[in-house]
Structure 1
Amino acid sequence: MKRKLLAVLLTCCMTAGMLAGCGGSSKEAGSAQPEQEGAGASAQAGTEAAAESTGENITIEFFNQKQEEAAQQAYRNAAEEFHKEYPNITVEINTVPDSDKVLTARMAAGDVPVVFHGKPTSQAFFESAEAGYCMDLTDQPFIEKAIPSLLEAVKSEDGKVYAMPYSQNFMGVFYNMDIFEEQNLDIPETWDEFMELCGKLKDAGIQPLEESYKDTGMAGHYRGGAMAALFPDGALWLAECAQDPEKKPSDNPDYRTFAEKAIQIMDYCNEDVFGIPQTQAMENFANGKAAMMIYGSYGRGTFLVANPDLNLGVFPIPGLTKDSGLVYAGVDACFCVSGKATPEEQDAGLKWIEFLSRPENAQKWSDTEGAPSAIDGVQYGSEGSLPMLNRIKEGKVREWKAYYDSRFSDTEAFQGLLMDRDVDKFLKNADEVWANAHVSG
């Protein structure tokens, strides 16, 4: 079970874990009281009920795996409001570097946080949940507040819900709308137009792209977004290769094309792309040192924290043709309650999730954190976000999830590709990873 759990959690924590190192370890605590019958109807009713209750004090841990400062601030803000309504429950928000590794080790040892982020996009997650590590949330009223399509996306084969979807993610090109207007630039619709736009910016003395690929995880995020745009069936092809030892990634010529195109951005990135910390790159872009940054939706809040006056837009990473590319997108933050916690801890954890899931609270969280909400009725972004939101609404999406076992991964090889721009070497390395994974499996 421990071996399986390690694989499970590496998948469950994939998105947040790739951001490890973006923020320091922190713990935030506050108090709140168990909810009385009907207390969830409104904040005022909850406060009155809490004041009348004589419930015992209880402390629960919320293991937050979203490292960006904006996300941490959003949870701190929510916790402050939660504490006003439930003054006898202490929610300890725990945010640590290398969160995926930390959570993996803790859960393998049976030390499961009461509430934690899960990633219900693989069979491994559901195997873990069915083994008792996640509480069944199917009958909780708050799950009805999720956008129906996203709720369906996190259900197990038998229709159970073990994780409450809370936010969505996507990889896109964030851009400074003021720079685009000053330079009379249009949003590119194909990859060649994107590269042409980068050239125009460079010729005008403007840094086209600010990126940080110092960490393998962030290189992997770009890889996922670029593959969805340039090789839309790439994830499915690699999954085939993971199933069939006779197939290898380089057999498909579109995999080479993806690699050849993806490295073209390196001509337009900051020179310290492999040395600058991710947070510094984000701050540089936000403060006008570059026109664009390829990043996930989770970065929007941090950009606006760094520069509240930033006129920010985001468009899809362009495909080879106008209509061929897909957006790498899906469910991001999901809340799980430990199946190993005491009934009292589980009850408090459910109250915390119910509070976060109220549309008015989810709106505040989304506005601060920057990611689109998974709660129905919550609005996102500004007019500058419409190119991305419209593409997602059209269903032109490659779901952000694990399509194959984590032993099959070309992420490190892709980071090497960005460094040396040697496509043949990248293809050879990827083939070797798949071959070795088949042997070890």
Structure 2
Amino acid sequence: MRRKRAAIVLGMSCILMASAVLQGCQQNPKSGKVEIELVQYKPEAVDIFEQLEKEFNETHDDIHLKISSPNDATTILKTRFIREDYPDIIGIGGDINYSYFVDSGILADISDYEGLGEVKPAYLDIIEGLEFVPTEGTYGLPYVANAAGVLYNKDMFAEHGWEIPQTWDEFISLCEEIQNEGIQPLYFGYKDTWTCLAPWNALAVGLAPSDVCQQVNKGETTFSKEYPQVAEKMLELLNYGEDGPFGYGYNDACTAFANGESAMYTIGSYAIPQIKSVNPDMNIGSFVMPANDSEEDNVLNSGVDLQFCVMDACENKEAAYEVLDFLMDHDSIQLYLDAQNAVPCKDEDFALAPELEDMKPYIQDNRMADYQDHYYPSEMAVDAQIQTFLINQDVDAFLKKFDKDWIRYNRDIIRMMEDYEAGK
């Protein structure tokens, strides 16, 4: 039976306490069509969704689709949920907010949706792993993902004959070689604390268990045990970046890399549009962070960037599923991929952005794991903690604080896990 635990869900207890009629998809008395409202959180993709909305409404006589793409959509959605003003479908990321929504019981179980069978198993596993405790059913349809590793200047690599590294030793040797040729190997831009999470996540997926956060919540391990290599390799990379990386932010790093000031940039595919806004002709490639001593142990850092969830309040799941069918159509997905340099979650042959070509084998083989920061509570400010650690360079103190703060900010989730394990 599905559990509903309101204690930790962002002040949304009224969602679970109320039994009033919920707003779902409705019949429009004027048009006679079923009205489906979809609210999605990617304002940078507003043009794509406007086109998809137009195409759907032109090809469907019995359903009218309205898609909204507001700024700060997650905050707006939380406010609407408290008021019980539910859209029919939401488009959100695979992060801790999804965990809260599953836990609150406001999402519909879409296990009966046939399109789930077309999704790559790795991405279904990722959203399953985001549940605070195992919950019966499936509550999200993974749509597109992003990938994070190392971006590199393909023309610069070709000119110097540099090869993509497959292991950590090869990566460090490459950085040494580039540095010896008078070129800066890496750029970071750590002034913006969130940028510290990019290489951290890319290293962690290869060096720590993919379910490390769940293991810690169960009391089976600690971050002091699982994260030392991640922390030590983060420090080692500092030797090959810009002087004073904490004085430069994300925009500075994108601009510097676009202008050829470094051969590589430890960031995700999401940065490519920003980089190309500076240098539209830049020939960019990306490779998986080679965190391990053996290539076969490396893992692509890829998380669900956009998934669709049907709200439990939706009165017509059949109409909502018809919308999902349209969105899952090959042409609809390809339209999104072309515009956003994204990775498809659907297990089908799509044309990937050329910048992702080197990551294709990992995508095809399902050698992927989610961003570990998707499990970190925002109150813990892990990005700022990593930045402070990189400045102070004390691994033991950093990990000790990480463990202490994890217990402090996850005590409710830890208690839920304890109750679950005890069968309560």
Asked if these proteins are the same fold (TM beyond 0.5), I'd say: yes
Check the 8 A contact 1:213/1:219 in 2, yes or no.
yes
Q: Deviations over 1:301-322 (max 9, x none)?
A: 5545654433221111012313
Give 1:337's aligned amino acid.
V
Structure 2 CA distance, aligned partners of 1:81 and 1:206? 49
Deviations 1:89-125 (Å, cap 9, x if unpaired)? 353432324x545544543453444332345688x95
The one-character-per-residue Cα deviations of 1:215-249 (angstroms, maximum 9, x if unpaired) are 444323432211223x233x54554433229x643
Is the 2:201–2:372 Cα contact (8 Å) retained in structure 1? no
Which segments of 5 or more consecutive residues in structure 1 lack a partner in the other structure?
9-33, 35-52
Decide whether aligned partners of structure 1 residues 147 and 243 sit closer, same or farther in structure 2, where only a CA change above 3 A counts.
Answer: closer
Cα distance, 1:357 vs structure 2: 1.0
Distance 2:314 2:363 in 1: 37
Q: Does 1:436 align with 2:413?
A: no
The partner residue of 1:362 within 303, 318, 333 is 333
**Judging changes above 3 Å, is the alpha-carbon distance between structure 1 residues 90 and 190 closer, same or farther for their aligned structure 2 residues?**
same
1:107, 1:220 → 2: CA distance?
30
Q: Please give the TM-score of this superposition, normalised by the length of structure 2.
A: 0.74
Q: Please tell me whether residue 414 in structure 1 is matched to residue 418 in structure 2.
A: no
Alignment of 1:60-209 (within 5 A): 60-64=37-41, 66=42, 69=44, 71-85=45-59, 89=64, 91-97=66-72, 99-118=73-92, 128-129=101-102, 132-147=105-120, 150-151=123-124, 154=127, 160-209=137-186
Match status 1:244 vs 2:234: no
Secondary structure of the residue that 2:344 maps to in structure 1? coil
Q: What do residues 141-172 of structure 1 show as CA deviations (whole Å, max 9, x unaligned)? A: 44444345545665697873321111133321
1:107/1:427 CA distance change after superposition, 3 Å: same
Cα deviation, 1:404-433, whole Å, max 9, x if unaligned, reads 674778544223223333323312322321
Q: How far did residue 173 of structure 1 move?
A: 0.8
Matching of residues 290-305 of structure 1 within 5 Å: 290-304=262-276
AA in 1 matched with 2:8: K
Letter in 1 for 2:337: S
Distance 1:91 1:289 in 2: 45
Task: Give me the TM-score of the superposition, normalised by structure 1.
Answer: 0.71
Contact 1:330 1:401 in 2 (8 A): no
Whole-angstrom CA distance in 2 between matches of 1:237 and 1:193? 27
What secondary structure, in the 3-state scheme, does the structure 2 residue paired with 1:318 have? coil
Partners of 1:237 and 1:146 in 2: CA distance: 24
Tell me the C-alpha RMSD between the 2 structures.
3.9
Quick one: which amino acid aligns to residue 398 of structure 1?
A
Number of corresponding residues: 386
Give the C-alpha shift of residue 208 in structure 1: 2.6
- Checking the alignment, whether the CA contact within 8 Å between 1:163 and 1:335 is kept in structure 2 is yes
Q: Does 1:220 align with 2:197?
A: yes
Is 1:339 the counterpart of 2:312? The answer is yes
| CA distances 1:374-424 after superposition (whole Å, capped 9, x unpaired) | 123242436663432223444543344679674778544223223333323
- Quote the residue 2:281 is aligned against: 309
Q: 1:232 corresponds to which letter in structure 2?
A: A
Tell me what 1:12 maps to: none
Matched, 1:5 2:9: yes
Match of 1:40 in 2: none
* Counterparts of 1:84 and 1:144, CA distance in 2: 27
Q: Is the 8 A contact 2:157 2:163 kept in 1?
A: yes
CA distance change for structure 1 residues 375 and 395 in 2, over 3 Å: closer, same or farther?
Answer: closer
**Relative to structure 1, is the Cα distance of residues 120 and 266 closer, same or farther in structure 2, using a 3 angstrom cutoff?**
closer
Distance in 2 (alpha carbons) for counterparts of 1:131 and 1:435: 22
1:425 aligns with 2:397: yes
- Specify the alignment match of 2:208 in structure 1: 232
Say if 2:150 and 2:267, in contact at 8 Å, map to a contact too.
yes
Maintained 8 Å contact 2:144/2:345: yes
1:285 aligns with 2:257: yes
> Residues of 1 paired with 2:54 and 2:274: CA distance?
20
SS at structure 2 position matched to 1:133: coil
Deviation per CA, 1:116-138, whole angstroms, max 9, x where unpaired?
Answer: 2345688x957844864123333
Rate the CA distance shift 1:170–1:433 in 2: closer, same or farther, 3 A: same
Which secondary structure state, in structure 2, belongs to the residue aligned with residue 332 of structure 1?
strand
Instruction: Name the amino acid aligned to 2:156.
Output: I
Identity among equivalent positions (%) equals 25
